[in-house]
Structure 1
Amino acid sequence: MRSNMFDYMDIFIQVVEKGSFSQAADFLQLHRPAVSKAIQQLEAELGVKLIHRTTRKLNVTAEGEEFYQRAKQMMGEFGDMMANFSPTLPPQGRLRIDIPLSLAHSLFIPALGDFTALYPDIEVVLLSSDKRTDLIASGVDCVVRLGELHDSGFIARRLGEIDLVTCAAPAYIAQHGMPQSLEDLHQHQAINFFSDHSREIMTWTFTVEGKIVTHRSDSVILVDNSDILLSCGLAGLGIIQATRMALAAHLVSGALVEILPQYPPQAKPISILYPDRRYLPSKVQAFISWFSERFASQ
């Protein structure tokens, strides 16, 4: 492709949209002969007629209409791409983020309005689940992860830790009693969470005299979704262990009651992962900085 083809396409788009060579020339601040010559060069390069010109009227051919649609899309994508890497322009474009459900509900969505107000030219595409996301295969720009990381080939920025809590609904406690010790948990029903990636059941942890103790209770229900885990807990089906941030409102309302507070679970690390790129788009940089500050302020 000739180096000036982008200029020709831009001129052609303006001619079609303005419906006139003269108006397009005025808009682009070009002489009318330069606009005519650009269209002629474009038609010669493509080998098709794009516009029929008469002294009174301008008609776009079928080939011209198809070329206009594709050129318009290409120029738009090219503009977005250049803007993403321009240090002089505000961050803009489509930003694809993957966040675990519990964090999306409790941390990200409540603050999302602040982010969109700061960066109105960024279109957020929020992908939220508890499944392990492949950054490259899914085409996301960055991922927020809970727990220890085992990925290779990605840059990880650790933000801190999130507290967990062990709890159950008052209806469950009324029926089965309140556990007083870790040994008592063996007599209770657990709602356990398993990873869809490894199929491994998540082990509960407790801090006892400064040391981390693990515990595995038999599952009455096994789930792979944090929303379902919470729903089961609220329904009084068993004891759950999850992030305190996600359960905070239910603990305050009394819909859930903390169990064994003297043995707090081990906190989970939270990190942001993004592909190892030499030049990170400004929209991704903006999100990472904003989300890091948001988490630090919690």
Structure 2
Amino acid sequence: MKTTIDELQTLITIIDKGSITAASEELNQTASGISRTLARLEKKLGVTLLRRTTRKLDLTAEGETFLKQAREIMQSLENAEESVKSKGTPSGVLRIDSASPFVLHAITPYLEEFTELYPQVSLELFSSERYIDLLENRIDVAFRIGNLRDSSLHAVSLGASKRRLYASPKYLKKHGTPKSVEDLQNHHLLGFTDPRELNHWPLRFGGGTSYVVKPTTAASSGETILHLARNGVGIACLSDFMTKVDRDAGTLTQILQGATVDVREAIHAVYYKNTQLSHRAQVFIKFIKSKLKDI
């Protein structure tokens, strides 16, 4: 193998920090030394990895391909070192991504317990409402709700969460409780701008098992919709994992129970197929799975 680990780390750091100067500060080297390492790597590979201008650095097509593989190699090396050093004790930084409702309702309530169990694991939480490239964003584990779209990811099933219709007591007192699915057209409905499939509510209607709503108010985040419903703005269709506290407290009331179809959204922990799952990631996935049983 011609390429060294130092050269891989140099390329990754340049991209992550945005410049050769910033990379030199991060790696405690001179900018000229970083430039020489990059030039040496490109010479070994026989390709240009970065286009250099006075203002910025851009990856070439070859650079994008090589960077992706470099990240995989460095992640695998980090995991291998962890498995030797930890001797069974999970440690290191774990970077986690999910949509904000899952982070807020299915992860953060249990982090105090997790950190007490695994004090050597440091967590970095990211909230992305849309699917992101895990390698590019250096995410170890992501949690996804609903159908998976990326075949390059390995998925671990964590169960499923039922979807139901809810409204606040305040809203129902002011506008009345719908007695049938047809009554919904006379109410303020809260829905999603994206993905629009979430505006297909699990209700028996017209001989089918789905009622497509045209939201009076729509939002891109389930957390926003939850707050709107809680504050009496309208009726929403939400997953159980994000409504448990409100259901227990009575701040949200389920409606049209008799017409509701048992539709559940799958919950998965996902990571890149070619990346070895670290010990810290394994224990975190197992921990969160145990908590989802109570939702």
TM range, normalised to the smaller chain? 0.5 to 0.7
* Paired positions, count: 225
Letter in 2 for 1:183: E
Provide the residue aligned with 2:82 in structure 1.
84
- Contact kept, 8 Å, 2:203 with 2:209, in 1: the verdict is yes
- Contact kept, 8 Å, 2:201 with 2:213, in 1: the verdict is no
Equivalent position to 1:284, from 259, 281, 286:
281
Q: Which has the larger radius of gyration?
A: 1
Provide the residue aligned with 1:262 in structure 2.
258
- Contact kept, 8 Å, 1:146 with 1:270, in 2: the verdict is yes
Alignment of 1:141-290 (within 5 A): 141-195=140-194, 200=196, 202-206=198-202, 208=204, 213-265=209-261, 266-277=263-274, 279-290=276-287
- Contact kept, 8 Å, 2:181 with 2:203, in 1: the verdict is no
- Contact kept, 8 Å, 2:154 with 2:272, in 1: the verdict is yes
- Contact kept, 8 Å, 1:204 with 1:241, in 2: the verdict is no
Deviation of 1:200 after TM superposition, in Å, equals 3.0
Q: Deviations over 1:7-31 (max 9, x none)?
A: xxxxxxxxxxxxxxxxxxxxxxxxx
SS of alignment partner, residue 177 of structure 2: coil
- Contact kept, 8 Å, 1:189 with 1:217, in 2: the verdict is no
Distance 1:256 1:282 in 2: 39
Distance 2:284 2:223 in 1: 25
Q: Deviations over 1:107-134 (max 9, x none)?
A: 2112112211222111100112432222
TM-score of the superposition, structure 1-length normalised?
0.66
Letter in 2 for 1:188: H
- The alignment status of 1:116 with 2:115, answered yes or no, reads yes
Distance 2:95 2:130 in 1: 16
- Contact kept, 8 Å, 2:97 with 2:141, in 1: the verdict is yes
- Contact kept, 8 Å, 2:100 with 2:129, in 1: the verdict is yes
Distance 2:167 2:292 in 1: 27
Letter in 2 for 1:290: F
Letter in 1 for 2:270: L
Deviation of 1:297 after TM superposition, in Å, equals 5.1
Residues 116 and 173 of structure 1, relative CA distance in 2, 3 Å threshold: same
- Contact kept, 8 Å, 1:129 with 1:225, in 2: the verdict is no
Distance 1:94 1:108 in 2: 16
Distance 1:225 1:278 in 2: 30
Q: Deviations over 1:189-237 (max 9, x none)?
A: 2110132xxx53522332549x961112221111011221112112222
**Structure 1 unpaired stretches of 5+:** 1-5, 7-65, 71-76
Distance 1:222 1:255 in 2: 21
Distance 2:281 2:116 in 1: 16
- Contact kept, 8 Å, 1:189 with 1:220, in 2: the verdict is yes
Equivalent position to 1:295, from 268, 292, 295:
292
Residues 173 and 293 of structure 1, relative CA distance in 2, 3 Å threshold: closer
**Structure 2 unpaired stretches of 5+:** 1-5, 7-24, 30-74
Deviation of 1:160 after TM superposition, in Å, equals 1.1
SS of alignment partner, residue 144 of structure 1: strand
